[in-house]
Amino acid sequence: MKKIFIAILSIFLLSKSGLSQSTINIPVKKLKIKYQNGEAIYINKINYFEYNQTNFTIDTVFVKNSMISFKKKDDNQFLILLNNRKETPITYLPLIQLREHYTSMFCGNFYKSDNYLLLSNQFNSKEYDYLNRFYQKFSKKSFDLELYEGPDYKKMDITDAQNLVEKRKQKYLKDLNRKQQELSQKFIEYLKTEIELGANNQFLNWYEETYSKEIEKEFKTTNTSKIHQSLYGDFISKKWNKNSIQYFRTIERIINFEESQKRKKLRTYFNNIDQRKEKAQKLKEKTASNTVYN
């Protein structure tokens, strides 16, 4: 399951003159599930760093006149799931059930039947439309598309593979840059995080599978991997949008890489890392962007 598709739907923000946009109105016809008038809809907040929480619901609304309406209480950006059932969000299930495969396994099927929305008062309907198109396109043309031969990764020169991923990444960034005047900086920050870290994650999936023996040999000799070290060093030197799923995956990778160095044995996942949550928090404090754009 190599392709990612997140169904981010267009929503319409209404505001009173001179006040911050805070009332979110979503026509039922825009949603994947055909909710009925009077039906209860649960609004669940998605936070991949807190995937093991037991209570996801932050609000409950009812469908009225084929519309779902609710108040957004602050200007922070976050991902929400709309559902008529109270249950663990499906995107959390791999984290709970198959955590050791999570960095390499992330599939659009996790999103195909539910209503996920990236929510922020600072975004407008054009930005939601752009984001929706981005994920539709990305589901068909992901960064590692040309690294496959049939269902499996193909062996090729590392530089050639990096160039293929970089070429695809630059196409997405170029399209985003053309929209600079239409899109807010916070929105652009989110997309750049998805694009740049998504490219790194897809490349590392390929590299770790096809060059596993070479990486293990290098690690035994030097207690590190130059390619991993370079990508992670670049990550730590910059700021990223903390709501991006690619940001979460990168944090996970780095924690396990640092544990590999400690144990002198390269592994993509250790299930018994001491203070895993605290280590993730320290990385977030170094790398998460907290900029507020007015």
One domain, residues 156 and 233:
yes
The answer on 168 and 198 residing in a single domain is yes
pLDDT of residue 183: 85
Give Cβ neighbours of residue 256 (< 8 Å, ≥ 6 apart): 103, 267, 268, 269, 270, 273
Reported as a pLDDT band with limits 50, 70 and 90, residue 237 is very high
Residues 121 and 146 in one domain: no
Handedness of CA 71, 74, 77, 79 (dihedral sign): negative
**Highest mean pLDDT (candidates 35-49, 91-105, 253-267):** 253-267
- Mean pLDDT of the chain, nearest integer: 81
Q: Evaluate whether residue 109 is within a structural domain.
A: yes
Residue 236 within a domain: yes
pLDDT of residue 238: 96
More confident residue, 17 or 244: 244
**Residue 278 is assigned to a structural domain of this protein:** yes
Question: What was the pLDDT predicted at 98?
Answer: 76
State which H helix or E strand residue 125 sits in: helix 125-140
Mean pLDDT value across residues 166-171: 95
Q: What is the pLDDT of residue 294?
A: 30
**Looking at residue 217, what is its pLDDT?**
93
| 173 pLDDT more than 60 | yes
Question: Does 290 lie in the same domain as 177?
Answer: yes
Domain span at residue 245? Answer: 141-294
- Is residue 259 located within the same domain as residue 156? yes
- Torsional sign, CA 226, 95, 246, 48: negative
| Nearest residue to 191 (alpha-carbon basis) of 142, 240, 233, 250 | 240
- Region of 18 (left: φ > 0; alpha: ψ -120 to 50; beta: rest) is left
- Closest to 131 in 3D by CA, of 215, 7, 238, 246: 7
Domain CATH for 61: 2.60.40
In the listed set 83, 99, 125, which residue is the last one of a domain according to the structure? Answer: 125
Q: Kindly state whether residue 13 falls inside one of the protein's structural domains.
A: yes
Are 29 and 114 within one domain?
yes
Average pLDDT for 237-251:
91
Let me know whether 161 and 80 are in one domain.
Answer: no
Please say whether the beta carbons of 248 and 194 come within 8 A: no
**203 and 292 assigned to the same domain:** yes
Is the Cβ–Cβ distance between 170 and 195 less than 8 Å? no
Quickly tell me which residue has 């928090």 as its tokens: 281
pLDDT for residue 181: 86
- Reported as a single tens digit per residue, the pLDDT across 198-233 is 999 999 999 999 999 999 999 999 999 999 999 999
CB 222 within 8 A of CB 272: no
**Tell me, what's the pLDDT at 133?**
77
H or E element that contains 222: helix 212-222
Let me know if residue 135 belongs to a domain.
Answer: no
- Could you tell me if residue 134 is inside a domain? no
Give tens-digit pLDDT for 74-101: 667 777 888 888 777 777 777 777 777 7
More confident residue, 22 or 57: 57
Answer yes or no: do 20 and 153 share one domain.
no
Asked if residue 150 belongs to a domain, the reply is yes
Name the residue with tokens 């023996």. 213
Considering its fold, how many domains does the chain have in total? 2
